[in-house]
Amino acid sequence: MAFTDRSARARAAILAAAARRFAADGYEPTTVRAIAADAGVDPSMVIRYFTSKADLFYAVAAAELPRLEVPTGSDFAASYARSFVDVWENGGQALANLFRAAPTHPDAAQRLQDFLDRQLMPFFRAAFPDLPDIDQRAALVLSQTIGVIYCRYLLKLEPLASMSRETLQAAITGVIRRHLGEAA
Amino acid sequence: MAFTDRSARARAAILAAAARRFAADGYEPTTVRAIAADAGVDPSMVIRYFTSKADLFYAVAAAELPRLEVPTGSDFAASYARSFVDVWENGGQALANLFRAAPTHPDAAQRLQDFLDRQLMPFFRAAFPDLPDIDQRAALVLSQTIGVIYCRYLLKLEPLASMSRETLQAAITGVIRRHLGEAA
């Protein structure tokens, strides 16, 4: 019992330290050693719990998407758009750094690809088990939301950057429904 | 007559040299002097014809969008989507370099903003003079197309990168229509 608690606390401390480091310094300069020092644990414990720096990064990025759950109602598109805007209006710093670096760093682009493959595509497949072309549809949804990430949150291109949250969310909802079909 | 011909030839030579330099070296390292040397003209002629390196860049970028014309028929969305895919499947190198640099170089992001303000927004306003919120609608269209630029052409994220051109073009057409309303 005490061990499990301690273990859960150590994992949480590592995740929090990693989130701060990845957000502040970016992925490349961040070391497992620095994260371990911040979290007050031995570097070997970071590897025992998270396998590698890359896997730790995915865990941090996944933790930035707290509401990435298949909605129980039928309003998938509205729910996904709301979650997306929530996350990005309130930070999403580790992912933001990855998107910022990706166009000039093939390694970062590869980690984004891994993140899509490990986290987002399985999520869409689980939500729409009956759509045979769900991978393509999900990719189109992502092209819209990633476009908003770049235009509004990273490049801050106007007038998208200062568009009201409500207008943006409604537009994204409509596009998600367009890409996913009636089922969404 | 002879003077006009020579002037048109010089402008064309400067534009072609600038397009090659911006595509090969990117915006920042490219100098007016190098472009002038490539074009076989004096640097002062580049400034006389194009005012500044920035304005020359916009002229090159605009020349990369040869079919950016308001369609005469009613099929704006399909026509715009086709033009967009045409341009990006076949190059768009100067613009690609600008999008690549923009997330880490505020100057490049500002030049993208200028490009939207000078070229794309006036184009959308001219196409939809009766839509009072055309700026917001156009910004949403751009968020979808810029998302495709990053996902497919720059980061090459799968499965969008290898999606068939037809599927992509049809999806973009639908989203443009969604953002612009029935008029498109």
Q: Which residues of A touch B154 (CB under 8 A)?
A: 102-103
How far is Cα A8 from Cα A90, in angstroms, rounded to an integer? 26
Task: Convert the pLDDT of each residue in A59-81 to its tens digit.
Answer: 887 776 655 666 656 688 998 99
- Of all residues in chain B, the one with the smallest CA distance to A172 is B140
How far is Cα A71 from Cα B125, in angstroms, rounded to an integer? 38
On average, the pLDDT of chain B sits at 87
How far is Cα B177 from Cα B171, in angstroms, rounded to an integer? 10
On average, the pLDDT of chain A sits at 87
How far is Cα A153 from Cα A46, in angstroms, rounded to an integer? 31
What was the pLDDT predicted at B8? 86
Tokens encoding B52: 């500044």
Same fold, B2-62 and B65-180: no
How far is Cα B6 from Cα A153, in angstroms, rounded to an integer? 46
Judge: A151–B171 Cβ closer than 8 Å, yes or no.
no
Judge: A136–B175 Cβ closer than 8 Å, yes or no.
no
The single residue listed with the structure tokens 């709301």 is A82
What was the pLDDT predicted at B1? 45
Q: Assess if CATH 1.10.10.60 describes domain B2-62.
A: yes
How far apart are the CA of A79 and the nearest CA of chain B, in angstroms? 19
> What CATH number should be reported for the domain whose range is A2-56?
1.10.10.60
What was the pLDDT predicted at A65? 62
Q: How far apart, in Å, are the Cα atoms of B44 and each of A49, B13, B33?
A: 63, 14, 9
What was the pLDDT predicted at B93? 75
How far apart are the CA of A3 and the nearest CA of chain B, in angstroms? 41
Confirm or reject contact between B145 and chain A (CB < 8 A).
yes
SS (H, E, C) B148-179: HHHHHHHCCCCCCCCCCHHHHHHHHHHHHHHH
Judge: B109–A150 Cβ closer than 8 Å, yes or no.
no
- Of all residues in chain B, the one with the smallest CA distance to A162 is B136
Indicate the domain borders of chain A. Answer: 2-56, 64-180
Could you say which of A112, A145, A159 has the minimum Cβ distance to residue B135?
A159
Tokens encoding B23: 């595509």
What was the pLDDT predicted at A1? 45
Tokens encoding B90: 């076949």
Could you say which of A112, A135, A154 has the minimum Cβ distance to residue B103?
A154
Q: Which residues of B touch A165 (CB under 8 A)?
A: none
Confirm or reject contact between B105 and chain A (CB < 8 A).
no
Residues with Cβ within 8 Å of B55's Cβ and at least 6 positions away in sequence, in order, are none
- Of all residues in chain B, the one with the smallest CA distance to A179 is B171
Judge: A156–B116 Cβ closer than 8 Å, yes or no.
no
**Which CATH number, 1.10.10, 1.10.8, 1.10.357, 3.30.70, labels domain A64-180?**
1.10.357
Fold of B65-180: Tetracycline Repressor; domain 2 (1.10.357)
**Residue-wise pLDDT tens for chain A (184 aa)?**
455 778 888 999 999 999 888 888 877 788 999 999 999 999 999 999 998 888 888 788 777 665 566 665 668 899 899 989 988 888 777 788 889 888 988 888 988 898 899 888 998 999 899 998 999 999 999 999 999 999 999 999 999 999 999 999 999 999 999 999 876 6
Task: Point out the residues of chain B with pLDDT beneath 70.
Answer: 1-3, 64-74, 183-184
